[in-house]
Amino acid sequence: MNTCTKLAMAALCLILGSCGLTNPYKKWLDDSKEDQNRLRPSALKAVLCDVGTWKVDYDGTDVYFQFGSDWSLSSDSEVPQIATSSTYNLMSVSPEEISLTLVGGGHISYVESGADETYIVKEFSAQSVSATGKTSGKAITFVPGDEEALAAIEASKAAMLVTVEACRSFISAGFKTAAVHKADGTFVGRFTINPEPRTIKLDLLEGGTLTHTSIEVEADDNSDLIFTSSLTLGGETVTGLVAKASGIAFQGGDNLVVKTNADSRGYFLGGDYHTHALNVRADRGEAVQYVTDELTPHDEWGDIELSDRETRPLVFCPENDQAHYWYTFFDSFKEEDGAKVSSEFNDIIFMSKSDGYMPFGGWDDGNGGEFDNAAEIMSTLSRFMNGYFHKDGLILVHDEDADFSYIWVMSPTTDFWFRARD
């Protein structure tokens, strides 16, 4: 190919690329007379699709894959999880290598947490495809799979699929996350429904102690969710979740009220939110005992506000006119970035701590500066501050009674919690 021809080809690729076509140079690479022996992604794709069903022995577990011509990918195994549906892609990385990416890893991800998604293929045929994990270097081999064996696996998971669909039905009704109260209004906790791995995770606050537990569920003939073991909740023994015309309820929990928690985070971040505060000495809110013990001696601070300012800062308000203490702010997120929230759970937020500051000024430290209240707060109230800015985020539950509005703030993984009041 002479220089003029190469330049013309390059110009054509740019023109086609500007028209929105995918990989305008792919055919050129496959047909290149300069490298007839290169491994072609198009040839590997044809083999993967033509065979239909492939099997990989991954650490003693047979994992099945089916590759679609539309780049779809399904995967299954005897691991008690439903089949996965995602995509795959192929890319030439050298004349002798093609990268095969199984987006999500298929059922391999259930066999080994953190397993590779991308594999390097150096040889393939209709009888086998040899691949090596791009990161781990783990060698795997795809061979044609027994479709009858795969069908048997799928049949064995029929009941599991019914349970997954029942979970999804509860979620579609608005109960991905929900708050639980007793009939008298006493707050009991929060739960979330997880279709995979078919569990109810409960964050329960009883006797001042926050605990977390997960219970597997199975769908019954009415598509209600039955617990595989009973649970004591708010003093009652409950055995499942049932759908009702008015929402959902606990089976056996006649004294329990369930309502969606889908709006609590939105309330905290929205325009209708107003400042709530915690002050354990003034009986404004409450907290886990170790936070109460930490806050009580420090009467230099009064209300700790969850402020309605744009960055929803924690505001430490001085009390008793004690020397050098002044209003000290810790932003919960940066205004330009907005709040960082969980995409999986609609009531979890991640508080991204900034350095503390005193926007209204402070007290002269005698050396031409100001007393560093922020550093003192981080040191003396470390358990409260570490809990609030924990990497796992916080569950928010908005609650009201006839007199006040409340914000329950609870860790999804530790025993940290407090309740702020307006």
pLDDT in tens, 131-164: 999 999 999 999 999 999 999 999 988 888 899 8
Residue 124: closest CA among 159, 86, 163, 96: 96
pLDDT band at 366 (very low <50, low <70, confident <90, very high): low
132 phi and psi angles, rounded to 5 deg: -130, 130
Which range (101-105, 128-132, 314-318, 351-355) has the least confidence? 351-355
The predicted model scores a pTM of 0.74
Q: For residue 381, count other CB atoms closer than 10 A to its CB.
A: 19
223 phi and psi angles, rounded to 5 deg: 65, 20
Classify burial at 89, counting beta carbons within 10 Å of its beta carbon; exposed 0-12, middle 13-18, buried 19 or more.
middle
Label residue 383 left, alpha or beta by phi (over 0 means left) and psi (-120 to 50 means alpha): alpha
pLDDT in tens, 25-35: 344 344 444 46
- The conformation of residue 40, written as its DSSP 8-state character, comes to P
Task: Give the end-to-end CA distance of the chain in Å, rounded to a whole number.
Answer: 77
State residue 228's pLDDT score. Answer: 92
For 21-29, the CB contacts below 8 A with 24+ separation are: 29/92
> Which 3 state secondary structure label does DSSP give 418?
strand
State residue 37's pLDDT score. Answer: 75
Query: Cα separation of 292 and 208, whole Å?
Result: 11
Provide the β-strand partners of residue 200: 193, 215
State residue 413's pLDDT score. Answer: 97
Q: What is the pairing mode between strands 236-244 and 348-350?
A: unpaired
pLDDT band at 365 (very low <50, low <70, confident <90, very high): low
Query: Cα separation of 41 and 142, whole Å?
Result: 16
